[in-house]
Amino acid sequence: MAQSLLRLGSRRALLTSRAVQLTPVAGYHAREKVGNRDIVGFGHNGEPTYEDRPDYPCPAVRFHENSADVLTMREREKGGWKELSLDDKRAIYRASFCQTFSEMQARNTGEWKSVAAGTLLGITLALWLTIWMKKFVYEEMPTSATSDVWKEKSLKRVIDQQQGIIEGLASNWDYEKKQWKE
């Protein structure tokens, strides 16, 4: 019994180690999207896409495709960095990344303009809808809500019936002097 459990456990360990070795970094189905670029990490959300983001500085793929120039630069990169010139170091960086951090933070995409335009458009549509509904959908206000005479009679009735005599409107009325309290 112990021997069969040991065989089963070793078989599972062997299968899982093979699965880990065979699983690519970002799924084989995405090779068409990536083209000839190297997949170098997990990326922002596991998809092999390139995106410059200051909050997640490690994209899943390199910026440039592998050309002969890029491959020769990568071979030279494996040697000593002191042997490389400043231009070579910049070219190696630009092959992997499109922008530096300062360029990412300094860029002004103008996205605020489209957000502001959409917000103003929404407010304008809401106002026009309100105007249209007041004109064509709602009926006129009844005289009980618009007439000053009606409002005075309604207030007199509330006071006469002593509605809200403790904390309400009638609590401000002096019933002995027949006037509002001061």
- Say whether both 90 and 146 belong to one domain: no
For residue 23, what pLDDT is reported?
Answer: 42
CB 172 within 8 A of CB 181: yes
CA distance 60 to 49: 6
Short-list 153, 4, 63, CA closest to 161: 153
CA distance 51 to 8: 45
Torsion of CA 153, 158, 161, 166, to 10 degrees: -160
Supply the range of the domain harboring residue 129. Answer: 112-138
CB 104 within 8 A of CB 55: no
- Say whether both 51 and 31 belong to one domain: yes
- Say whether both 127 and 147 belong to one domain: no
Q: State pTM to two decimals.
A: 0.45
- Say whether both 69 and 86 belong to one domain: yes
pLDDT tens-place string over residues 117-160: 999 999 999 999 999 999 999 998 888 888 899 999 999 999 99
- Say whether both 63 and 131 belong to one domain: no
